[in-house]
Every structure is written in C-alpha cells, then in structure tokens.
Amino acid sequence: MNNMNVLGVDTSCDDTCVALLKSENSKLEILSNVISSQVKLHAKYGGVYPFLAKREHIKNLPLVFRKATKNIDVSKINLIGVTNGPGLEPCLWQGVNFAKDLSEKLKKPLVSVNHIEAHILANFISENPKSYILYSKFLFPSVCLVVSGGHTQLILMKDIGKYELIGETRDDAAGECFDKAARILGLGYPGGPVIAQQAARWKPETRNQKPEIKLPRPMMYQKNYDFSFSGLKTAVLYRVKSDKRQVTREKYIQEMCAEVQQAIIDVLIHKTIKAAKDFKAKSIILGGGVAANDELRKQFKEKIQKEIPNTKYLIPDIKFCTDNAVMVAITAYFHRQEVKRINWKKVEVDANLRI
Ligand code: KG4
Ligand code: ZN
C-alpha cells in the first residue's frame, strides 16, 4: 500500500505530539504537525517532572489529536505509529494507550516506533510535498549521532531498520549537560537554546581569542565511542562557585556559555568523525534536540569538509530536531510492513528522573 495517511503520536517526554503524514507515490506530505509544549510548566523545576508531564499528556492528547486531524475524516487514517520507548515511563504509557485505543476503534494497524530511530529518520522529512523521499542506499553505512535531553548515542546504520549501537554516554546526555549547566547559571529550562543564545553574544576582543574559562573535554581522546558529560557539568559548578574574575555577570555568563557549548561540540564532533573514519561511513547523520544547535551544525559541516570531504552530511530541519510526531509517522511509514504488537512488558524506559 503506497498511498496512505499515517498518524504519528509521541509522548516520550514533556511534549504531547500528534502529526499526520500523507504518502502518495513515494512523496510525503505533512498534513499536520501539532505539539503541545509543557516547557513553561517544567521550567520552575529546571527539568522535566515526569508525573506532572503524564497528567498534562492525559489532558492534552485528545485536544492535540483533534487539532491534528481536523481536516481529515479519521476513518481515512490507514496506519498509526506510536513511540513506545525509550522515554519517561509514565509519559510513554499515555501515548501508547491512546494509540492502542484508537487503532482498535478505527480497526487500523499500529506500529510501535523507537524514539531514537525516529530522531534519525527525521532526516528524511521534507516540507516540500512535491519532493521524493531523500532516502538512498548510497548513504550507508552511516554513522548517526543522536543527541537529545535523554540520549547521546553513536549508531552505525546499515539501512533503515539495521542499526548497531557503537557508543553512548556513560552518564549524562549532551542535552542534559546543556540543561544542567543552564540551571547552575540560573538561565532556566530548556538549557540548550538559552546557552546557544548567550554563547552567540560572547564577543572575543581579538578574532582568535578563546574564552579564558577552560572546561574539560571528557573522554575526547579515549579509544572508544563513548561519552561522559556529568564531569563537565560538575566543572561548571565548581568554576562558577570559585571564580573571582573581575567581569560583569552578563559577560561572565556569555563566556561560560560559549565554553560549555564549545566543550560539548568538540567532544561530539571528534568522536563522530573518528567513528566515521574507522567504519568508512558514507554519511554522517545527526538527530535529536541538540542537533538544533547552530554552532554544532556549522562546525560539523566545516570539519567534515576538511577531514572527510566525500562523506555526506545530513541534518534534520531545525524544527524536526526536537521532539515531534512527524518523525514518528515517517518511521511508521518506513516500517509499514512490520506492524508490531506493542508488548506491554517491553516498553523501554529511562529510569532516571530528568530533574
Ligand atoms: O530530542 P528532544 O526534544 O527531547 C528528548 O528526546 O530528550 O531534546 C531536548 C534537548 C534538551 O536537552 C534541550 O536543551 C536540547 O535538546 N536543545 C538544544 C537546542 N535546542 C534544544 N541543545 C543545544 N542547542 C539547541 N539549540
Ligand atoms: Zn527526543
């Protein structure tokens, strides 16, 4: 079945997301992409408070669904995809239960979607309804870096559905490091965008001047593809507590943000390029909320051009880096032959609370 309407649902963290994707002869058109953000609610906790997020998902799901499907007769939905992990357990269940009920009511198949795979496949979303899917066999093997608030993983991708985890964070995720550093600096939640904003304001006095603050680049030169970001966050904390430099608070924050951001970028780029060289990757694919970072996107491009210029570089459109349900719908579309029953015991869960 090539022509179909695919509904995507994602409640893996603090956003309630429902989207509708129409496929027609290998062209995909986004019919709707609705996200109800809970950022303001969680901001006062400096992170996501799972049980509060669950309550909001219960309240928001029917409204978000109605909005996403307002221009279509719901009986015309052919396939439903829902994120069933990894994510925050109380939140995941809300989307899974909602999608399960809907699939039973509409008698339409349900595909369970892995959130990390969805972040990778976000690269194949195009907003131009006339364009063909960008997927090509020539991209593989690919080294994918998924960097979000909950995950930092390097994945060797041999094709859609064929993945091998080659490295991951041993403690905090890169996005979590942005969030925690922002909390230490009193900048609010989520930390990534605000740290990027402050970092962009830091103006060196000479062109090549680097921030005076020097933070560690944890595990950067180790011979593996793993990451560690909790030490970086601790370094920010100690530095902020002990620093006696005579600069205004405004300038200090800007310089600290520039250095935190650069430390994270240096490690991510170094390890990903090393993996791409070692595995002779034909492409590097980014995904996840941190991939929305302008400096990361730019510096990755420069480094790839300089060191491995024949390697293709894929990054999702900024709005498809952070959580959304279009990426879930496109993943379900790619896996449409494999309608999977959701196994209640197998929902993958991040045991750690994110605050
Ligand atoms: O993928 P995502 O929306 O949710 C998870 O699956 O976790 O990622 C959210 C994370 C947050 O930690 C947020 O601070 C980070 O992505 N983030 C950014 C930027 N935008 C969002 N980090 C750095 N720079 C950004 N521009
Ligand atoms: Zn995500």
Q: What is the DSSP string of 48-60?
A: --HHHHHHHHHHH
Statement: residue 349 has pLDDT above 90: no
Alpha helices (H) along the chain: 39-43, 50-68, 89-106, 115-121, 174-184, 191-201, 230-242, 249-278, 294-307, 326-334
184 or 208: which leads in pLDDT: 184
Cis peptide before 218 (omega within 30 of 0): no
Average pLDDT of the segment spanning 314-340:
93
Average pLDDT of the segment spanning 303-324:
97
292 C-beta closer than 6 A to ligand 1 = yes
Q: Quick one: pLDDT at residue 191?
A: 95
290 C-beta closer than 6 A to ligand 1 = yes
The pLDDT tens digits for 56-92 are 999 999 999 999 999 999 999 999 999 999 999 999 9
Q: What is the pTM of this model?
A: 0.94
Q: Quick one: pLDDT at residue 347?
A: 53
**In the structure encoding, which two tokens stand for residue 165, read together?**
């985890």
The pLDDT tens digits for 222-278 are 999 999 999 999 999 999 998 877 778 889 999 999 999 999 999 999 999 999 999
Percent of the chain with pLDDT strictly greater than 90: 77
* Rounded-to-integer distance, Cα 208 and Cα 153, Å: 32
* CA of 175 relative to ligand 1 center, distance in Å: 5
* 190 Cα nearest atom in ligand 1: 14
* CA of 104 relative to ligand 1 center, distance in Å: 34
Residues linked to residue 152 through DSSP beta bridges, in sequence order? 147
Statement: residue 353 has pLDDT above 50: no
* CA of 254 relative to ligand 2 center, distance in Å: 27
* CA of 115 relative to ligand 2 center, distance in Å: 6
The pLDDT tens digits for 157-167 are 999 999 999 99
191 C-beta closer than 6 A to ligand 1 = yes
* 119 Cα nearest atom in ligand 1: 1
**In the structure encoding, which two tokens stand for residue 114, read together?**
């892995």
Instruction: Take atom 10 of ligand 1 and give the residue whose Cα is closest.
Output: 149
Q: Quick one: pLDDT at residue 355?
A: 34
Statement: residue 183 has pLDDT above 80: yes
148 C-beta closer than 6 A to ligand 1 = yes
Residue 249 has φ and ψ, to the nearest 5°, of -60, -40
Statement: residue 189 has pLDDT above 70: yes
Of 322, 327, 331, 349, the one to substitute when testing ligand 1's pocket (max ligand atoms within 8 A of C-beta) is 322
**Contacts of residue 67, Cβ cutoff 8 Å, sequence gap at least 6:** 18, 32, 34
* Rounded-to-integer distance, Cα 30 and Cα 190, Å: 27
* 178 Cα nearest atom in ligand 1: 14
* CA of 289 relative to ligand 1 center, distance in Å: 3
Q: Quick one: pLDDT at residue 341?
A: 60
Name the 3-class secondary structure at 341.
coil
30: number of CA atoms within 13 Å, CB side?
Answer: 19
* CA of 109 relative to ligand 1 center, distance in Å: 31
Contact 156, 289 (CB under 8 A): no
* CA of 263 relative to ligand 2 center, distance in Å: 22
Ligand nearest to the CA of 322: 1
Confidence of residue 342 (pLDDT cuts 50, 70, 90): low
Instruction: Take atom 8 of ligand 1 and give the residue whose Cα is closest.
Output: 289
Q: Which of 62-66, 212-216, 284-288, 343-347 is predicted least confidently?
A: 343-347
Confidence of residue 203 (pLDDT cuts 50, 70, 90): confident
Statement: residue 97 has pLDDT above 90: yes
275 or 25: which leads in pLDDT: 275
Contact 31, 21 (CB under 8 A): yes
Q: Which of 19-33, 36-50, 163-177 is predicted least confidently?
A: 36-50
Average pLDDT of the segment spanning 317-330:
97
Q: Which of 295, 292, 277 is nearest to 323 (CA)?
A: 292
286 C-beta closer than 6 A to ligand 1 = no
Q: Quick one: pLDDT at residue 1?
A: 57
* Rounded-to-integer distance, Cα 164 and Cα 297, Å: 24
* Rounded-to-integer distance, Cα 147 and Cα 163, Å: 16
